[in-house]
Each structure stands twice: as structure tokens, then as C-alpha cells.
Structure 1
Amino acid sequence: MATSLKNLSQHSNANISDIKARKFGIVVSEWNDEITESLYGAALETLLRHGAKENNIYRKNVPGSFELPLGAQWLAKLEEIDAVICLGCVIQGETRHFDFICSAVAHGITEVGLKYDKPVIFGVLTPENQQQALDRAGGKHGNKGDEAAISAIKMLGF
């Protein structure tokens, strides 16, 4: 469903598992940090609200969204990490660079989850402009960080 029709922070509470003993890795892109810090704040708050312990949440920063898959892989290979959440923002520019980065990031994150057989969540915004990013990072469409954290929780209950 298009995010213009849905609030990213609204979700069903069905299949919410007990995460008190679960450990989460969160990989955050430093590029577009105004957006990614908001995504991180929402993801962290959602995990804590649903019972995760703060000392079981590990944050690692990477320079940009292109580096998210490798950062995710470094966390996913740790046996104690149960799920990895990748947070980034790639804003459309004037060149095809956007297409290449978004495709590489999506494929890379997917491959990490399949390789390590654990949830690796795509919490990457791919908006056309800064305003669309702000709208999806705590603005009128909610926060993709919240949605990413809920996805991780639900996948752990699968």
C-alpha cells in the first residue's frame, strides 16, 4: 500500500512476540542524518515499548545507505543477535545514481537475511524529495523506523 494512504506507525498488534530476551542490531546510515536519526529514535522507542532491554539493542553507524548491507552482515553473523534493522534514506536526485543505490541496498539487505536465516529488516526510505522523507520520518505519514522495529518483532514470532 502506498504510504500516502497509510500511517507507517500504525500497525496490528497480532503476532507480537515476547522480546525481553531478544537482541537487536540496528544499522544506521549517517547520510541524511536528520532523517535517519528520527528513524532510529522511533525504532528504539518501539523496541523498548514492546519489552526489549536497552542493553540488548546494539547500534552501529555506517557512512551511507550503500554500506547498510555490509553493516547488517557484520551484526547478523553474531550468534547473539536475533534480528537486524537497517535504517537509511536515499533521496532521488537528478541522475540514475538513486536507482543503482536503492537496488543494491535492497538486494544486499535481502541477501544478508537469507544468508544468516534471521530477520534483516529494510527500513530505508526512498523518497523523491526531502519533504517526503520528513513526512515518513515522524511527519504526517508516521515513522518508517517504527514500522521497521515492528517488522523485526513480528518476524521473530514467526
Structure 2
Amino acid sequence: MATALKNLSEYQSEGIRDVSARRFGIVVAEWNHEVTEALFEGAIATLKQHGVPDENVVRKNVPGSFELSLGGQYLAQRPDIDAVICLGCVIQGETRHFDFICSAVAHGITEVGLKYNKPVIFGVLTPDNQQQALDRAGGKHGNKGDEAAITAIKMLSF
């Protein structure tokens, strides 16, 4: 469903189990810092809302969204991490670079989750412009960070 029709911060809470003892890794891309920090803030707020203490969250930064897959793998291979949330933003530009990066990141994050048999969540925005990114990082369409965190929580309840 397009985010224009759905608020990214709204979710159904049925079936959500206690995750206060679970440990989460969050990988944050430094590129598009204003957006990715807002995504991180949303993810942390959602985890805290569901009882996850600060000491159960490990944050690691990577230079850009392309590096999210390897950063996610570093955290996913740790036995003390139950789920990994990858947060980034790739804004459409004038070249095909956008297409290559988005495809590589989506495939890479998927492969890491399958390789380590644990939730590795794609919390990457792929907007056409900066305003669309801000609208989805705590703006009028909610926060993709919230959505990524609740997805990790729900997958741990699967």
C-alpha cells in the first residue's frame, strides 16, 4: 500500500508478545543523516514503547545505504542479537545509480536474514526527493523507523 494511503507509524498490536528481554541491532546509514537520524529516533521510540531497555539495543553506523547489508550481517551473526533493523535513505537522482543501490540493498538485506535465520528488516526509504523522505521520517506519513521496529517485533513473535 502506498504511504500516501497509510501512516507508517500506525500498526495493529494483536499478537505482539513481550520483547523486553530480546536484543536488537540497528544499523543506520550516515548518508542523508537528517532523515536516517529521524528513522532511528522512530525505531528507538517504538522499541522502548514495547519495553525494550536501552542496554538491549546495539547501534552501528555505516557510511551509506549500500553498506547496510554488510553492517546488518555483522550484527546478525552475533548470537546475542535477536533481530536487526537496517535504516537508510536513497533519494532518486538524475542517474541510474539509484536503481543499482536500491536493488543491491534490498537483495543484500534479504539474503542476510535468510542466511542467519533471524529477522533483518528493510527500513530504507526510496523517495523521489528530500521532502518525500522527510514526510516518511516523522512527517505527514509517519515514520518508517516505527514501521521497521514493529516489523522486527512482530517477526520475533512469528
Q: Which band: TM-score by shorter chain? A: over 0.9
AA partner of residue 93 (structure 1): G
Q: For residue 62 of structure 1, what is the aligned residue in structure 2?
A: 62
Is 1:31 paired with 2:39? no
User: Structure 1, residues 122-142: CA drift from partner, whole Å, max 9, x if none?
Assistant: 000000000000000000000
| TM-fit CA distance, 1:98 | 0.1
Gap runs ≥5 in structure 1 = none
Q: Which residue of 2 aligns with 1:124?
A: 124
Task: Work out the CA distance in 1 between the residues paired with 2:144 and 2:17.
Answer: 20
What letter corresponds to residue 7 of structure 1 in structure 2?
N
Partner Cα distance (2:134, 2:45) in 1? 18
Q: Quote the offset at 1:14 in angstroms.
A: 1.4
Q: Distance in 2 between matches of 1:17 and 1:104?
A: 32
Instruction: Read off the aligned partner of 1:68 and give its amino acid letter.
Output: L
CA distance in 2 between partners of 1:33 and 1:17 (Å): 32
Instruction: Please name the residue that 1:46 is paired with.
Output: 46
Q: 1:134-157 CA deviation, whole Å, 9 max, x = no partner?
A: 000000000000000000000000
Shift of 1:15: 1.9
Aligned residues: 158
Alignment of 1:84-123 (within 5 A): 84-123=84-123
Deviations 1:29-64 (A, max 9, x none): 000000000000010010011011110100000000
Gaps of 5+ in 2: none
Residue identity (%): 75
Q: Give 1:17 deviation, angstroms.
A: 1.5
In structure 2, C-alpha distance between the alignment counterparts of 1:126 and 1:11, rounded to whole Å:
21
Q: Aligned-residue CA RMSD in angstroms?
A: 0.4
Please name the residue that 1:76 is paired with.
76
